[in-house]
Amino acid sequence: MQLDVDDEEPSSQAFNIEANCINKSKIELDRLMELDADEVDKFIQFVNMKLLNIKEYPDEYNDNGDVLIEKLPFYKTFLVSYLIEFFFLKNDPKGLDVYLKAIRVPGLKKYSAGLKDIYRQL
């Protein structure tokens, strides 16, 4: 899968969102980075499957009925939240819902079930 990624530094708002995710996860950064080669392959598959799911069902991620004005590229930091979700799925599946609630994901039960389904398929 080819992604359009913004090579520039993310805005302070985008950076703060990712930093907030790390803080709310209560996971040490060192632990997030502990992926062996097999896990890296699984993580890449997880990211691909999640992105394909977003492309397949875009309306599920737009529950306000907002109109798309401009499609922007991903910031380089977008993988941080994906890595946190992957970490919970791998190490603490029950903690995933606590984390998603902490970062206020709308429809967290459905979102969590979707993530768990993706992880089971790996």
Q: Looking at residues 17-23, what average pLDDT do you find?
A: 93
**Closest-CA residue to 118 (of 66, 94, 82):** 82
User: Can you give the pLDDT at residue 68?
Assistant: 65
61 vs 19, residue with greater confidence: 19
pLDDT digits 0-9 by tens, 72-83 = 677 778 899 999
The answer on pLDDT for 58 being more than 60 is: no
Measure the N-to-C terminal CA separation of the chain; round to a whole number of Å.
Answer: 16
User: Can you give the pLDDT at residue 23?
Assistant: 96
CA distances from 30 to 22, 61, 74, 110 (A): 12, 31, 24, 30
The answer on pLDDT for 59 being more than 70 is: no
CA distances from 32 to 10, 52, 56, 62, 89 (A): 21, 24, 28, 29, 12
Using only C-alpha atoms, the chain has a radius of gyration, in whole angstroms, of 15
pLDDT digits 0-9 by tens, 81-105 = 999 999 999 999 999 999 999 999 9
pLDDT category at 114 given cuts 50, 70, 90 is very high
pLDDT category at 10 given cuts 50, 70, 90 is confident
User: Can you give the pLDDT at residue 121?
Assistant: 96
| pTM score, whole prediction | 0.82
Domain boundaries, the chain: 5-121
Long-range pairs for 34-42: beta carbons < 8 A, 24 or more residues apart: 39/90, 42/86, 42/122
